Amino acid sequence: MRLIRSIYLCCTIVISVEGWAPKLPEERELTTNLSNLSLRKVPTDLAPASTTVDLSYNLLSELQNSDFHSVSKLKILILCHNSLQQLDIKSFEFNKELRYLDVSHNRLNVVTWYPLASLKHVDLSFNRFDTMPISEETGHMSQLETLGLSGAKIQKSDFQKISHLHLNTVILGLRTLSHYEEGSLPILNTTKLHIVLPMNVNFWALLCDGLKTSKILEMTNIDGKSQFVSYETRHDLILENAKTSILLFNKVDLLWDDLLLVFQFVWHTSVEYFQIENVTFGGIVYLDHESFDYTSTVMRTVKLEHVHFRVFNIPQDRIYLLFTKMDIENLTISDAQMPHMLFPNSPTRFQYLNFANNILTDDLLKKPAQLPDLKTLILKGNKLETLSLASCFVSLTPVMHLDLSQNLLQHQNDDNCSWPDTLLTMDLSSNKLAGSVFRCLPRSIQTLDLNNNKIQTIPKEIIHLTSLRELNIALNFLTDLPECSHFRKLSVLNVEMNLILSPSLNFLQSCQEVRTLNVGKNPFQCTCDLRDFIQLGKHSEGMLLGWSDSYLCEYPLNLKGTQLKDVYLPELSCNTALLIATIVAIVLVLGMAVAFSCLCLDLPWYLRMLGQWIQIRLRVGEATQEQLRRNVQFHAFIAYSERDSLWVKSALIPSLEKEDGSVLICIYERNFDPGKSMTENIIDCIEKSYKSIFILSPDFVQSEWCHYEGIAHHDLFRDNSDHIIFILLEPVPFYCIPTRYQKLKDLMGRKALLEWPKSRHKCRLVLANLRAAIDVNLSDNRQACELQTFTGLNEQARGSASSLIRTDCL
C-alpha cells in the first residue's frame, strides 16, 4: 500500500512539476493527489512544496494538529468524502495561504472556527451537524466568499452571526432537515444560494425564503412525492420582497399540476430567467394554459432541458400552449422527446426559440406561426424533412439565425422556397441535402453551414448569394473546389473531407476574396496536376487551414500518407513539352555522337573487329580438340608472294610470334623440305598447321595462287572450314583474279577477308584478332614438332630454326 502510494505520489509530483516547469519557482503549483487510496491517516510524508492536496474519497476519521504543518505553501485542501467527525480550523494556522477547504460529505458534528485570514472557500455541506456550524468566529472572517453549510435545524440565530458578511455563494447541502425557522435564509447576504434539498422538507417555505435571499437561487433534488404531498400547496401565495432574478431547478420529479403551480407562483415573482434541468413529470393534466394567469410578470426566459415524461397519455397540445402562450423573449424546450409544438393564433413576442433534440416533424412547419420578433430559431436534432416547408414557416418572421442541423432535410428542385431577407446565418449541417439546396437559399445569407450532407456538385444556375462570406461544405462528396461566380464575397471556405483528388486553381480566379480555405483530409492524388496546389500551400502563408498536417496523399499508393509538402514532383516529369524537348535533344546528341564515331573514328570497323574477336574466342574452345587430332605442329602457315615477303618477315611474323617463342609459324622459306615437291611441301605445311594465313595482294593472286588452286580440293579448304584466314594486304579487284582460279573466287566470296588497315591502332586490333585465331596449346605435339623441324630444315633457315627449337622445344 505504502509503496503504491509513494509511487503514485512521486508520479503526481513529477507530472505537476513538469506541467508548471516554465514558471518561476515561487509561482510553481504542485498538486499531491491522494484521492481514493483508502487512506486512514494523513500521510506524514506530504511533499512540503505542495500547493494542492487532494485526500478525497479516503477513510480518514480524524486529523492531527500537525498533519499539514509541513505543507506551508498549501492553498487548496480537499478532504471531501471521508469519515471525519471533528474539524479544528486552528490546525491550519501555519498554512497561511490556505484559501480553499472542502470538508463536505464527512460525518462532522463539531467545527472549531479560527479566523484564518486567507480562507475564502469553506465547504461543510453534507455533514451531520445538528445546527448550522456557525460561530461568532465565523462572523470575523470577512474575506469568506463561499460557504457550504449543513445541519438538521435551521434557525435565524445561526445566520445572524454572519449576516454582515458579503458572501458570494452559500451552499446548503442538506441530508436531513428536521426544523426550518421561517425567515432564516433571507438573513444571509449572498449573491447565489444553492440549496440541495433532502426528502420530506417544506419545498414552498424554502422556495419562498430562497427567493427573498439571493439574486441567483438554485434548488436541486425537488421531489414532489415527499416535498409536496405532506405540505399544503399554497395556491394564493403572493411573495413580497423577492430578490431572485435567476432561478435554477435541477433534478426535478413532479406531477404536471405541481409543476404548473410552481410556474404560476414563480411567474409573479422577480424571476426573469427560469431554468429547469433534468425534469421528470407525470400525473394527470387537470390544469393547463386556460387556468394559467399570464398577467403581471417580469419573466423573460424559460428553459426546460432533459425532460422525461413518466406518463404518456398527456394531452400534448394543452402542454405546448402553456409555454407558447407565455409572452416572453426566450423559450427553450430541448431534449424533451416532444413530437409536436403548437403556437397560439395571436402574435407572440418570442425572440429566441430553441426546440433542439426533440422529435418534431414537418407537421410543425405546415402552419406558419406568427412570430414577428423572432431572431433565432433552433430546431436542430429533430426529424424535419422538407427544406422548402421550413422556409415557408419562417417566411413571415424577421429571423436572423436559423439552426436546422441534424435533421432529415432534403430539397426537391421544383419546390419553391421563400426565405425572409433577414437571414444571416443558417446551419443546415448533418442533413440529407444534395446540390439542389443551392436553389433554396436566402439571398441575404452570410454564414452557411452545409457540413455533412450529400452534395456532389454545386449547380451552375443558382441564386446569387451576394452576401455569403462563410461557407462550410465539409464532409460532402465534392470532387473539386466550387466556383465563386455566384458568391463573389466569399472569404472563408471549408471543403474538408470531400472527394477532391486534385483541387483546380481556377477557384482562386473566381473566388478572389477568399482569405481562409480548408481543403484538408481530402484523398489527394499526388500527381503533376497537384503541383500548383502544393505551391499554393507552401507559399500562401496561412490561407490554407491545417497545412500541412491535414494534407496527405491518398494516391498513388506508394505515396499514401505522405504530407503534400514533402511530395517531390520534378518539372521534367510534369511538363510534357519540356519532356519531349529533352528527349529530342538527347536523341540528337546521341545521333551526332554516333555519326561522329562512324565518320571520324570508324566505329563500325572497330565493332566488326570486336565481333570477330569474340567469335574466335568462342570457337577456339570448341574446335581445339578436333584440330589437335590432326597432329598439328605449327600455329600457322603463312602463304605470301615474294613481293610481300619483306612485310611478312619484318612486320607480321614478329608481331605474331610471342617473345617467349611459344608461337610456331611455318613459312616457305625456312620450313620447306627441298626433297619434296612444291605441292607436297605446301600440303604438308597446311596439314601440320593449325591455321593457314594467306596474304592476299594482286601479286599473290597473279604469281603464287597457282600452287594452291591445285590443292584447293583438300579437306581443309572446305567452304565451312575455319582453317583458312585471308588477309587482304592490298585491294584485289575481283576482275584481276584470273578466271581459272575458280576456287579462290569462291573462297574470297564466302570468307570474311581481313583487310590490312593503314592506321597503326587498327593494325594492333587486327593482329590481336589474328593471335587469338591461332592461339592453341600445342604442348602434346612437341615431340613430333622437334623431329619434324630437325628433318625439315634447309640450309638457309638453320639459324632461325635452331633458335625456334631452343626457345620452344627444350
Ligand X SMILES: *[C@@H]1O[C@H](CO)[C@@H](O)[C@H](O)[C@H]1NC(C)=O
Measure the CA–CA gap between 690 and 680, rounded to whole angstroms: 17
Measure the CA–CA gap between 158 and 131, rounded to whole angstroms: 8
Q: Which amino acid is at 772?
A: A
How are the residues of the chain apportioned to helix, strand and coil, as percentages rounded to the nearest 5?
A: 35, 20, 50
Beta carbon of residue 480, minimum distance to ligand X (angstroms, whole number): 31
**Applying CB under 6 A, which part among 174-182, 198-206, 410-418, 615-623 lies near ligand X?**
410-418
Measure the CA–CA gap between 774 and 755, rounded to whole angstroms: 17
The nearer residue to ligand X, 78 or 770, going by C-beta atoms, is 78
Q: Does 699 bind ligand X (CB under 6 A)?
A: no
Beta carbon of residue 270, minimum distance to ligand X (angstroms, whole number): 14
Beta carbon of residue 317, minimum distance to ligand X (angstroms, whole number): 25
Beta carbon of residue 166, minimum distance to ligand X (angstroms, whole number): 3
**Applying CB under 6 A, which part among 105-113, 411-419, 759-767, 768-776 lies near ligand X?**
411-419
Measure the CA–CA gap between 607 and 626, rounded to whole angstroms: 29
Beta carbon of residue 414, minimum distance to ligand X (angstroms, whole number): 5
Which helix (H) or strand (E) segment holds residue 618: the answer is helix 603-628
Residue among 295, 345, 416, 558 that touches ligand X (CB under 6 A)? 416
The nearer residue to ligand X, 70 or 189, going by C-beta atoms, is 189
Beta carbon of residue 164, minimum distance to ligand X (angstroms, whole number): 7
Half-sphere exposure of 14 (CA within 13 A, CB side): 6
Which helix (H) or strand (E) segment holds residue 537: the answer is helix 531-539
The nearer residue to ligand X, 81 or 325, going by C-beta atoms, is 81
Beta carbon of residue 251, minimum distance to ligand X (angstroms, whole number): 4
The nearer residue to ligand X, 98 or 729, going by C-beta atoms, is 98
Beta carbon of residue 113, minimum distance to ligand X (angstroms, whole number): 21
Measure the CA–CA gap between 442 and 363, rounded to whole angstroms: 22
Q: Are 142 and 120 in contact, with CB atoms under 8 Å apart?
A: no
Q: Are 510 and 484 in contact, with CB atoms under 8 Å apart?
A: yes
Residue among 203, 249, 352, 637 that touches ligand X (CB under 6 A)? 352
**Applying CB under 6 A, which part among 176-184, 311-319, 413-421, 727-735 lies near ligand X?**
413-421
Residue among 86, 160, 220, 301 that touches ligand X (CB under 6 A)? 301
The nearer residue to ligand X, 35 or 615, going by C-beta atoms, is 35
Overall residue count recorded for the chain in this entry: 810
Beta carbon of residue 337, minimum distance to ligand X (angstroms, whole number): 14
Q: Are 753 and 732 in contact, with CB atoms under 8 Å apart?
A: no
Q: Does 251 bind ligand X (CB under 6 A)?
A: yes
The nearer residue to ligand X, 137 or 415, going by C-beta atoms, is 415
Q: Does 330 bind ligand X (CB under 6 A)?
A: yes
Measure the CA–CA gap between 55 and 53, rounded to whole angstroms: 6
Q: In the structure grid, which three cell numbers stand for residue 415, read together? A: 419546390
The nearer residue to ligand X, 416 or 677, going by C-beta atoms, is 416
Q: Are 206 and 230 in contact, with CB atoms under 8 Å apart?
A: no
Beta carbon of residue 310, minimum distance to ligand X (angstroms, whole number): 12
Name the pairing type of β-strands 470-472 and 447-449.
Answer: parallel
Residue among 73, 99, 300, 670 that touches ligand X (CB under 6 A)? 300
**Interactions with ligand X, residue window 166-205 (CB under 6 A):** 166, 189
Residue among 137, 145, 362, 415 that touches ligand X (CB under 6 A)? 415
Beta carbon of residue 44, minimum distance to ligand X (angstroms, whole number): 20
DSSP state at residue 42? -
Peptide bond just before 556 cis, omega within 30 deg: yes
Helical H segments across 629-741, by residue range: 645-647, 653-656, 668-671, 678-688, 698-699, 706-709
Measure the CA–CA gap between 649 and 418, rounded to whole angstroms: 115
Measure the CA–CA gap between 188 and 185, rounded to whole angstroms: 6
Measure the CA–CA gap between 47 and 649, rounded to whole angstroms: 110
Taking only Cα atoms into account, the Rg of the chain, rounded to an integer number of angstroms, comes to: 56
Q: In the structure grid, which three cell numbers stand for residue 725, read together? A: 584466314
The nearer residue to ligand X, 197 or 664, going by C-beta atoms, is 197
The nearer residue to ligand X, 36 or 506, going by C-beta atoms, is 36
Measure the CA–CA gap between 505 and 574, rounded to whole angstroms: 17
Beta carbon of residue 24, minimum distance to ligand X (angstroms, whole number): 22
Binding mask 20-59 for ligand X (x = CB under 6 A): -----------x-x-xx---------------x-x--x--
Beta carbon of residue 163, minimum distance to ligand X (angstroms, whole number): 7
Beta carbon of residue 130, minimum distance to ligand X (angstroms, whole number): 28
Residue 279, Cα to own-chain centre: how many angstroms? 43
The nearer residue to ligand X, 223 or 808, going by C-beta atoms, is 223
Q: Which amino acid is at 358?
A: N
Q: Does 18 bind ligand X (CB under 6 A)?
A: no
> How crowded is residue 560: how many other Cβ atoms within 10 Å of its Cβ?
13
Beta carbon of residue 57, minimum distance to ligand X (angstroms, whole number): 4
Q: Is 253 exposed, middle or buried (0-12, 13-18, 19+ CB in 10 A)?
A: buried
Beta carbon of residue 13, minimum distance to ligand X (angstroms, whole number): 13
Binding mask 270-299 for ligand X (x = CB under 6 A): ---x----x---------------------
Measure the CA–CA gap between 298 and 266, rounded to whole angstroms: 10
Q: How many residues bind ligand X (CB under 6 A)?
A: 21
Measure the CA–CA gap between 205 and 414, rounded to whole angstroms: 61
Measure the CA–CA gap between 601 and 591, rounded to whole angstroms: 14
Q: Does 145 bind ligand X (CB under 6 A)?
A: no
The nearer residue to ligand X, 354 or 518, going by C-beta atoms, is 354
Which helix (H) or strand (E) segment holds residue 236: the answer is none
The nearer residue to ligand X, 226 or 550, going by C-beta atoms, is 226
> How crowded is residue 17: how many other Cβ atoms within 10 Å of its Cβ?
15
Residue among 5, 153, 175, 306 that touches ligand X (CB under 6 A)? 306
The nearer residue to ligand X, 267 or 637, going by C-beta atoms, is 267
Measure the CA–CA gap between 68 and 46, rounded to whole angstroms: 8
Question: Which residues would be at the binding site for ligand X (CB under 6 A)?
Answer: 31, 33, 35-36, 52, 54, 57, 166, 189, 251, 273, 278, 300-301, 306, 329-330, 352, 414-416
